Amino acid sequence: MGRYLTRRTLQSVPLLLLITLVIYLLLRATPGGPLSLYEGDPNVTPADLARLRQQMGLDEPPPVQYAKWLSGFVQGDWGWSLVTKRPVLQMVAERLPNTLLLMSLSFGVSLLIAIPVGIISAVRQYSAFDHIATTIAFVGNSLPTFWIGLMLIMIFGVGLHWLPAGGMFTIGAPFSVEDRLRYLVLPVMTLALFDATHYARYLRSSLLDVIRQDYVRTAYAKGLRERAVIREHSFKNAAIPLVTVIALDLPQLFSGALITETIFAWPGMGRLFWEAAGRVDYPVLMGIFTVAASLVVLFNLVADLVYAWLDPRIKYS
Amino acid sequence: MDMQVPRSNRPSQTIQVVRSARSRRTFLAAGTTGAAALLAACGPESTAPAATQAPSSGSATQAPVAQQAGQPKSGGTLRIALYQEPAILNPFLNSQTAGTEVMGLIFLGLTDVDPEGKRVPVLAAEVPTVQNQGVSADGKTVTYKLRRDVKWHDGKPFTAKDVQFTWQAIMDTANPIASRTGYSSITSVDVKDEYTVTLNYKEFYAPFITLFVSVLPAHAYDNKTAGMDKHEQARKPLGTGPFKMQEWSSGNHVTLTKNTDYYVRGKPYLDQVVFRITPSREVGVAQLQTAETDVVWDLSEATVPDIEGKPGMAVWAGAAPDVERLILNFSAPSGAQQGLPSSKHPVLGDPKVREAIELAINKKQIVDKLLFGKTTVASSPVPMGWAAYKPAPSEFSPDKAKQLLDQAGWRPGSDGIRAKDGVKMQLTYSTTTGNALRERTQQVIQENLQTVGVSLEIKNLPSAVLLGQWADNSPRKRGNYDINMWTTNAGIDPHSHLFSYFHSSQIPTEANKGDGFNYSRLLDSEVDKALEEAGATPDEVKRKAAYERAIKGIISSRAHIYLYNRLDVDGARSYVMGHKLNPWSVMTWDIQEWWLNK
């Protein structure tokens, strides 16, 4: 196990290096750049642009720029934003707690919905509940989050005035949990609805496979109650595909939900990324991309480890 | 889904400008670029395309007058939705329109421009002119007498030293300041006494009065000019304006509180102003509808119907100096001669053809049908302000257009498309992608020209490409295009705009690495002379006359064909009182006059 971990960790180093290089090249290959907003201003001369390019370090050969960025990054210096002139790490640190709050809540809510719904749907296949649940899941999965989000705003914000249309808390009001929750309801619902339908469909189909297995029939035959059969014999095995899906979604705890955060004016990582992309702020984009990529690699490894726990037949050595 | 990113700023005259030179309408987000393309799968956060935000609600120009009713009441918090987060609150490092709105509350400049386009004193006691001895006869020495009753937000007095420091900071190369145009023509700033400051120019700079639209506090920087970008003042600035910086919560809001020491006694009326950062105009409008915000800054015309006529809401709209236009290429669009001023476009090189194209375009229909009659047909690069010259709009006459083309020897072929010496009248027509209003305008113009035998092929490009730089192989810089379409404006002092777009020295070439914006490759010695003359004298009467000559030549050359004038639009709850629209400044230019009638 230890050797397996070491090997996987070592393998991920070149992989991550490659990822950062590809991201770097892609960013540089896109037309425009942080200085393009001055294009069209008759008061910014080519000499001014050359001076800015030099001040931003954009005049150096790309390999040098990449190397400088990389050596800084591994030492914990993520560089300075070209636009806000603030340390990237500080900008990320401001947004990360907001995203963690939103994403972990949505994640929890979606699992609370998805697990019971998925199990009942599978166990009572073709029942009225199953039909309704699968229909909702199908619809929910097909609706884009931005549409759900906008509809929720239209109905509960603009129409009924029950909940705020966006933001994170009432500006100027003293901190209160109730106020925070009011602002959380709609974005969490938007995200959870989408994820829950997604997870429920996975769980239902994999559980359907499992409960037709001989060992499940054996468990029933020896007189175990249904609840015990599901819990002890079916669910853990059926959860393996779900774990993969969930593990790959977990990096979003860091990177946030770009669309939902944007619709609900939630000051999280998704919006930070979106703004940086609009401003072609290379250091900020590189920082977010790299951490997000590292987390994907990390959670892939975690998923593999969880498999071993869920299914003792899977062994790593 | 179109991928528009928060608009950066309007190209001319914006950067470093807090209180003058309207900066709200970018022309198509020159700063919106490529990396955004990586996000190709994103949602509706796309801010409304820059050009859909064209005109709206011309009638609403009267609205602010109606708002003046009643005695102003003091107190209250005003919430303004910005769809863009300010990046940095240093007026000389900022390159964003949202930033200028926020800084409009904090910083004051020596002078400002009123809604009629008249220069008015702010921190200066009077506007320097040749008549009041503030400007020397050759225009190279400018003396400002300053107000004596102005204090910085920390209570320290504002003095001539601050003006001198501001210039020194701008010129310090350790600060990443984009534009130093004008400031770099100054050789020294002399502090004559505590409240008198003299600027010595090495050469006459015609728009000298547009400089120092913000002044920085020398003492807050300990008189050190370097490193302004990383100084704490960049995020928590000290100014002399009606509101003080209180709190900035990233991605969320910026809060400012009343400056009780503001030099205009009894003002401002509001206790607090909160800028709410919203990801898009649409979110701002939703918050306006739920009364979670009081004002939504810079709307697109598409959202106006959501507000106009709704109870409790008002549209603030007024004419802007921005003009939507076609840009015609006079030079060879391809081959060895491409973009060279000496070459000639096989179709557009003939002035008669260009005239025929303008005659064939039904501008009135574009305004009436596509812009709901909310704006006006354009006829000039400088439609408003002290230097305005606005002739009657061009005639719409397909018959005259056909006659002209016949005269010029262009005969219709079997397919209806005219040709001459084997060259067919087929032109490409480009604007930015993902902009519904622009695309519909293209269809109208395409049909208009079809009827006179000119075929247009629409070939739109992402703004980063269409409006890119020489190094990006931007077609307008390199001269490989026929007709382009976008918006720009001349600002309150039209000099840099007119000079850089129409003077023969401003043609982008290999030799100058693409400097200049004379994309049409206009070579007109009369226009050149008039522009040089206008740029050489501080006498406004003479300058205006010279610009008029230049503009006449520019209009008749049809280097640009002006389509329609654009509007600035904001939305508000109807209890927000006291605001007057000012096309030359930011929305918040008169924030000290605003009050809440509730």
What pLDDT, in 10s, does the model give residues B423-456? Answer: 999 999 999 887 788 899 999 999 999 999 999 9
CB contact under 8 A, A95 and B251: yes
CB contact under 8 A, B468 and A36: yes
- Output the pTM of the full model: 0.81
What is the rounded distance in angstroms from the CA atom of residue B502 to the CA atom of residue A18? Answer: 48
CB contact under 8 A, A85 and B43: no
Q: At residue B22, does pLDDT exceed 90?
A: no
Residue with tokens 């408003």: B384
CB contact under 8 A, A32 and B468: yes
CB contact under 8 A, B462 and A31: yes
Token output for A145: 């989050």
Q: At residue B101, does pLDDT exceed 60?
A: yes
Q: Which of residues 43-102 of B touch A (CB under 8 A)?
A: 43-45, 77, 79, 85, 87-88, 93, 95
Give B514→chain A minimum CA distance, Å: 9
Question: Using alpha carbons only, how large is chain A's radius of gyration in Å?
Answer: 24
Q: What is the average pLDDT across B394-409?
A: 95
C-alpha distances out from residue B321 to A38, B474, B558, Å:
19, 26, 19
**pLDDT tens column, B275-284:** 999 888 888 8
What is the rounded distance in angstroms from the CA atom of residue A199 to the CA atom of residue A2? Answer: 31
CB contact under 8 A, B6 and A278: yes
For A34-43, B45-54, B211-220, which range has the lowest pLDDT when averaged over its residues? Answer: B45-54
Q: Taking CB atoms and an 8 Å cutoff, what residues of chain B touch A154?
A: 286
What is the rounded distance in angstroms from the CA atom of residue B80 to the CA atom of residue B562? Answer: 33
Q: Which of A83, A94, A259 sits opposite B43 (nearest CB)?
A: A259
CB contact under 8 A, B513 and A46: yes
Confidence check on the interface: ipTM exceeds 0.90, yes or no:
no
Give A32→chain B minimum CA distance, Å: 5
What is the phi/psi pair of residue B418, to 5°? -75, 155
Give A241→chain B minimum CA distance, Å: 26
Q: Taking CB atoms and an 8 Å cutoff, what residues of chain B touch A256?
A: none
- Tell whether B414 is within 8 A of chain A (Cβ): no
Per-residue pLDDT tens digits of chain A, which is 317 residues long: 778 888 888 888 899 999 999 999 988 887 777 887 777 777 888 788 888 888 888 888 888 989 999 999 889 899 999 888 899 999 999 998 999 999 999 999 999 999 999 888 888 888 889 899 889 888 888 888 888 888 888 898 888 888 888 888 887 778 888 888 999 999 999 998 888 888 998 899 888 888 888 888 888 888 888 888 888 778 888 888 888 888 888 888 787 788 888 888 888 898 899 888 888 888 999 999 988 888 888 888 888 888 877 777 777 76
What is the rounded distance in angstroms from the CA atom of residue A25 to the CA atom of residue A63? Answer: 10
What is the rounded distance in angstroms from the CA atom of residue B42 to the CA atom of residue A260? Answer: 10
Q: At residue B594, does pLDDT exceed 90?
A: yes
Mutation target among A22, A41, A54, A274 for the B interface, most CBs of B within 10 A: A41
CB contact under 8 A, B279 and A40: no
Task: Supply the pLDDT for residue B57.
Answer: 36
Task: Supply the pLDDT for residue B7.
Answer: 30
Q: Identity (one letter) of the amino acid at B81? A: A
Task: Supply the pLDDT for residue B69.
Answer: 59
- Tell whether B32 is within 8 A of chain A (Cβ): yes
Mutation target among B45, B172, B303, B473 for the A interface, most CBs of A within 10 A: B45
Give B265→chain A minimum CA distance, Å: 27
Give A202→chain B minimum CA distance, Å: 24
Give A83→chain B minimum CA distance, Å: 6
Q: Taking CB atoms and an 8 Å cutoff, what residues of chain B touch A33?
A: 33-34
CB contact under 8 A, A42 and B12: yes
What is the phi/psi pair of residue B419, to 5°? -150, 160
User: Which among A241, A262, A263, A266 has a CA at the least distance from the CA of A114?
Assistant: A241
**pLDDT tens column, B475-520:** 999 999 999 999 888 988 999 899 999 999 999 988 887 888 999 9
Could you tell me if residue B133 is left (phi over 0), alpha (psi between -120 and 50 degrees) or otherwise beta? left
